[in-house]
A and B are shown apart, each in its own frame.
Chain A
Amino acid sequence: GEDVEQSLFLSVREGDSSVINCTYTDSSSTYLYWYKQEPGAGLQLLTYIFSNMDMKQDQRLTVLLNKKDKHLSLRIADTQTGDSAIYFCARPRVGADGLTFGKGTHLIIQP
Chain B
Amino acid sequence: EPEVTQTPSHQVTQMGQEVILRCVPISNHLYFYWYRQILGQKVEFLVSFYNNEISEKSEIFDDQFSVERPDGSNFTLKIRSTKLEDSAMYFCASSVSSPKSASSYEQYFGPGTRLTVT
Contacts and interface: CB of A to CB of B under 8 A. Distances in A.
* Pairing of A with B: yes
Interface of A: 30-31, 33, 35, 41-45, 48, 88, 90, 92-93, 95-104
A86 B48 CA distance: 25
Interface residues of B, number: 29
Interface of B: 4, 6, 31, 33, 35, 41-45, 48, 55-56, 58, 91, 93, 98-100, 102, 104-112
Given A44-B109, A93-B45, A98 B35 contact: yes
Q: Which of A42, A43, A98 has the most CB of B within 10 A?
A: A98
Given A42-B110, A97-B56, A98-B35, A30 B105 contact: yes
Chain A facing B: main interface SS: strand
Contacts, number: 67
Given A30-B102, A43-B43, A43-B91, A97 B33 contact: yes
A101 B35 CA distance: 11
Given A30-B102, A92-B99, A93-B45, A99 B91 contact: no
A7 to B, nearest CB: 14
Given A42-B111, A88-B43, A97 B105 contact: no
A45 B102 contact: no
Contact of A31 (B6, B93, B105, B109): B105
